[in-house]
Amino acid sequence: MLKQFGWSDALQQQFAMHAAAGLVPARVVVQQRGLYEIATEAGELHATLAGRLAYEAEEGDYPVTGDWVAVLARPDEGGATIQHVLPRSSSFVRRASGPGMARQQVVAANVDVALLAASMNADLNPRRIERYLATAWESGAQPVVVLTKADMCADAEERIGEIEAVAMGAPVVAVSAVTGAGLDELRAYLSPGRTAVLLGSSGVGKSTLVNALAGRLQMATQAIREDDARGRHTTTHRELVLLPGGALILDTPGMRELGLWDAGDGMSTAFSDIEALAAQCRFHDCRHESEPGCAVAAALEGGTLDAARWRAWGKLQRELAFQHNKDDPRAHAASRKVWVQRSKRNRAETKHRQRYE
């Protein structure tokens, strides 16, 4: 049973020390409010956290759907206690919403493919896709942009081209769960033993897509609102589903927002076009404002760099910097010093221009 859920020889080697302690391997298939359902060789069991793990685990280290764990199993009771979480091969992390210090939330673990779902309706937003791509590249999983409800879009080719322009090499697949269009192309990324996570806002059709891929009613679905083309939360928990072809897909609740968390490398990949332009600037510390020889400014003026994409890059960079400064007082002080110097320089330049006008 564990091989169906992706168990491998490499994982078996990692697990040796836990096996010596009398524990057995399992994979978390459902996570809901601190309660877990896990897959073991003895079948699916209900599980809770061991007291020591619950007390000592750092933020982001608690088990989530997709995690491999070492458990003390009680198959006769249908229960188990999770003692340890195995090292993750990948993790999809976002900044948790709420007041106070920034907190990370691991949405999914040990996934090979990140299916970034967006509906081809009035709510299709390239800026949101860019944000998801940055987080997906950071996770270590292969991102695939999935445009759902293709049968409801009158200008599908134009919208697909719009998203391909910001995907930076990530595949873009348009699908329809109603007509079946694009599903075979999507299945090519869902080979046996691989795990995919399905991510996106509420109402984009994630659960409907899972049902279409599974060939059965696996997840509950709900219609979107007609007034703004946005959806309501349907999925309320994270569940790992075994598909008929042998792949696994993890459905997740819709996310109203996706706050970036330590996604510097992911940003570099998602915005590789801007990174390449910045490397061509005359000065290595170019602010891309009014400096001579700025390749970014030239691309904006020439129309080869979309101004909206440039603004989106700046917004996400500021978001990452704010998060970093919030958690690191020294970084905050250094950042403030840079902005003070920049403000003084701008005031001096303004006075100089005014003097000779």
pLDDT score at 244: 92
pLDDT score at 8: 93
Cα–Cα separations (whole angstroms), residue 356 to 123, 310, 350, 351, 352: 49, 32, 10, 9, 7
Backbone angles phi, psi at 218, to 5 degrees: -95, -40
Architecture of domain 3-85: Beta Barrel (2.40)
- Separation CA 222–CA 141 (nearest Å): 28
pLDDT score at 354: 55
Helix, strand, or coil (residue 201): coil
Indicate left, alpha or beta for 174 from its phi (over 0: left) and psi (-120 to 50: alpha): beta
Mean pLDDT by 10 residues, the chain (357 residues): 92 96 96 90 96 89 95 96 96 72 81 94 86 92 95 90 94 94 95 92 87 71 47 63 93 70 85 94 88 93 94 90 65 48 57 56
pLDDT score at 203: 82
> End-to-end alpha-carbon separation of the chain, Å?
79
pLDDT score at 214: 87
Q: How far out from the chain centre does Cα 5 lie?
A: 21
The two counts, helices (H) then strands (E), for the chain are 12, 13
Q: Which residues lie below 8 Å from residue 228, measured CB to CB, with a gap of 6+? A: 122, 123
8 A C-beta contact, residue 319 and residue 259: yes
pLDDT score at 80: 97
Cα–Cα nearest to 166, from 128, 137, 203:
128
Domain ranges of the chain: 3-85, 91-251, 264-356
pLDDT score at 263: 75
Architecture of domain 91-251: 3-Layer(aba) Sandwich (3.40)
Helix, strand, or coil (residue 34): coil
Architecture of domain 264-356: Orthogonal Bundle (1.10)
pLDDT score at 162: 94
Q: The whole model's pTM is what? A: 0.81
